Amino acid sequence: MWQAAGMKTTFIILIGTVIIGAADPAPANLNSAALLGCTGGFMPALDQLAHDAVSEDKTTASNAIRALRTRGPEGLRALLNAHVDALKQHSTANTLLAAKSPDDSWVRLKTALDAVGQQRDCYASQLYWYTDLDQAKAAARESRRPILSLRLLGRLDEEFSCANSRFFRTTLYANSGIAQFLRDHFVLHWKSVRPVPRIMIDFGDGRKIERTITGNSIHYVLDSDGRVIDALPGLYSAREFMNGLTLASYAANKAGALSGVERAGFLTKYHRDCIAAVSTQWADDLDQIGGKTPPLRRTLKFEPYSELPPSAVLACSDTLTKAEIERPFLYAMTPRADVDRAILESTTDDLTWAKIAALPAHAVYLDAGPRELIRAKNPSALAAGRVAVSKSIVETPMVRTIQNLQRSIAEDTVRNEYLLHTKVHEWLATSSAPVEPDQLNSKVYAELFLTPDSDPWLGLVPRDTFTALENEGLVQPANRLPQAQVSARPTF
């Protein structure tokens, strides 16, 4: 009997992405190529590279960053260790409360960390990510650890990646317990599925809003050969993310010791046990709130539009946290929004999900790491809270922001675990989906996230709708790629 904390999930286990991030340079393995510096000669010591990486001379810094990147996680650790004092000094209390802009030295350090770790806000997570799967597999075989492979729209090392990946960076990777668990148990890898669509609204008086408009992300747990063991679709709370990764890590390690029929049988039973456990928990939750018991294996089908590409509104509504920032733009842009909303309401009862998410078992609490990163990204809200210190504990905009975020993460967690993750378990249990990550990812984005490769506009361009604009307001490159590969970054 194996029991995970949080969702009270009990498992009885029988023991028996088209746009690719820049390839990582080959890791250093005591060979002459690895010892050579970027401009010839032998590579300087790691501590010297770590100091050069924040040099005011851009060429010196760029060469040092590139060299540290070739050294893998060791290079990132050297950079972190060399600047531990600067990292400690950079805190909300020292920088943001004083309403100061970050100084140049901090900007250089933050930029260097992001480039070496290949993750935006790497200073908060201190995680190293491979962007070449073959290198990740080599590292996994050497360390005997599974791979956690993130697929996302946009790039993890850029501010404007898709909304879910930004929440991963803020609420999961910045969590000290999650970050340490990832460092200890996984080799990390990310791959961009396609560019993320962005929208800018210009109010004409100098004020502008720039946001991403749609997109979703998924974490795959792979064995050292790159075969899918499990997957966590969308955003989870830190506790349930840890639970899911713990189970998937166990399954990966167990499957690694088996082969042939035994391996297949073990993984089939693992996924069937997961389906049964989640269905039981879902039914228990509904009993607690007085709701109706759901079907054990619910499928996400929207019959009136089954023959048409899904709309961006419908895809957005699968994920509450990012929908709160994206849905207003989508509804304003998409003429089919009212119909989509009706389909959504008839398919999923939002009130029921909110009640389930509010149960104590699903409560979300962001720890110090995510809270500090959230504050760093919202200095104006923090400053507003200082106006009335005695009231700020309950009334500061930052507190309300965090409370709303925790609520929406809780709802995302139950939706993703009960609906989407269960579907992935079903596919893998019945061998109805490939275990090669790129092939499975195409199925996930088409059938779970409702943003198929075949739609270059990601549901943002409804069919048979007249806008009274030239070419319906669409702008495409003159030498555009075949339809399925067109960059999903329209100009509106």
Question: In this predicted model, what pLDDT tens digit does every residue of 267-310 receive, in sequence order?
Answer: 999 999 998 888 888 888 888 888 665 544 343 333 333 344 45
What integer pLDDT is reported at residue 103 of this predicted model?
83
* Same structural domain, 104 and 212: no
Of the candidates 75, 90, 117, which is a domain's last residue?
117
Give the pLDDT of residue 198. Answer: 86
144 and 59 in a single domain? The answer is: no
pLDDT confidence of residue 376: 84
Instruction: Give me the mean pLDDT over the 351-358 stretch.
Output: 90
Query: Does the residue 476 lie in any domain?
Result: no
User: Which residues is 2 bridged to in the sheet?
Assistant: 11
Is residue 225, in this structure, part of any structural domain at all?
yes
Average pLDDT over residues 49-62: 97
Q: How many CB atoms lie within 10 A of CB 73?
A: 20
Dist CA 152 CA 162 (whole Å): 7
Same domain, 123 and 113: no
pLDDT at 365: 93
Same domain flag for 71 and 192: no
In this prediction, residue 43 carries a pLDDT of 61
pLDDT bucket at 5, cuts 50 / 70 / 90: very low
Residues 85 and 148 in one domain: no
pLDDT band at 412 (very low <50, low <70, confident <90, very high): very high
Higher local confidence (pLDDT), 319 or 394: 319
- Same domain, yes or no: 250 and 283: yes
CA angle 328, 334, 337 (to 5 degrees): 75
Show which of 90, 117, 144 is a domain's final residue.
117
CA 310, CA 24: separation in Å to the nearest integer? 35
Residue 326, pLDDT score: 54
Q: Which residues contact 22 (CB under 8 A, 6 or more apart)?
A: 131
101 and 184 in a single domain? The answer is no
Is 20:28 a contact under the CB 8 Å cutoff? no
Give tens-digit pLDDT for 305-335.
334 445 454 455 555 565 555 555 444 444 4
Pair 60, 79 in one domain:
yes
Percentage of the chain beyond pLDDT 70 is 69
- The range of the structural domain enclosing residue 217 comes to 119-455
Q: What is the pLDDT of residues 443-462, one digit of tens each?
A: 999 998 888 887 777 777 77
Q: Is residue 4 part of a domain?
A: no
Higher pLDDT, 9 or 449: 449
Domain count, the chain: 2
Average pLDDT over all residues of the chain: 78
End residue of a domain, out of 117, 149, 169? 117
Let me know if residue 323 belongs to a domain.
yes
Q: For 212-248, how does the pLDDT look when each residue is reduced to its tens digit (9 = 90+)?
A: 887 789 999 999 999 999 999 999 999 999 999 999 9
Q: What's the CA gap between 194 and 20, in Å, rounded?
A: 8
Residue 129 has pLDDT above 50, yes or no: yes
Is residue 472 a part of any domain in this protein? no
| 125/53 same-domain check | no
Q: How confident is the model at residue 199 (pLDDT cuts 50, 70, 90)?
A: confident
Nearest to 172 by CA among 197, 196, 148: 148
The verdict on residue 310 lying in a domain is: yes
Q: For a pLDDT cut of 90, what percent of the chain falls above it?
A: 50
